Amino acid sequence: MSWQVYVDQTLIGSGSVTSAAICGLDGSVWAKTGIDISAAEAKTLISSISGDPSGLYSTGIKIGGVKYTFLRCEAGRSIYGKKGSDSGCTVVKTGQSIIIAVYSGAGITPGACTKVVEQLADYLISSNY
């Protein structure tokens, strides 16, 4: 399956994600829909998950030029952010990539977005990605 299919069918097709991207750990964009993420933004997310995320408290999480308030980080695994009352982001690291998902709009909950992204990440990890 292509990376674009994972983004379009698994993430956005779930109805719990409005835009998403999968990037390599070098910051390269493998697939994206609705997000114009830069390699620099991806690298910042990767280093924050892998190392010290405390800088995100002051800078926020930036995805496609949009700033999300940093909520929390599970070291080595994931970062969560929020923008306003009905949008936010979930970023999860796998062995070779990061999955970046944004949800926006009434009716989509942070938990629903997180569940879809975490499930895809677990699948990719089990497939050595």
> What span, in angstroms and rounded, lies between the C-alpha atoms of 71 and 61?
9
Give 96-118 pLDDT, tens digit per residue. 999 999 999 888 999 999 999 99
Tell me how many domains the chain contains: 1
Tell me, what CATH number does 71's domain have? 3.30.450.30
> What span, in angstroms and rounded, lies between the C-alpha atoms of 115 and 101?
11
Please report which confidence band the pLDDT of residue 19 belongs to, taking 50, 70 and 90 as the band edges: very high
Reference 77, options 62, 61, 90; nearest CA is 90
Indicate whether this model's pTM tops 0.85. yes
Domain that holds residue 94: 3-126
Give 32-69 pLDDT, tens digit per residue. 999 999 999 999 999 999 998 989 999 999 999 999 99
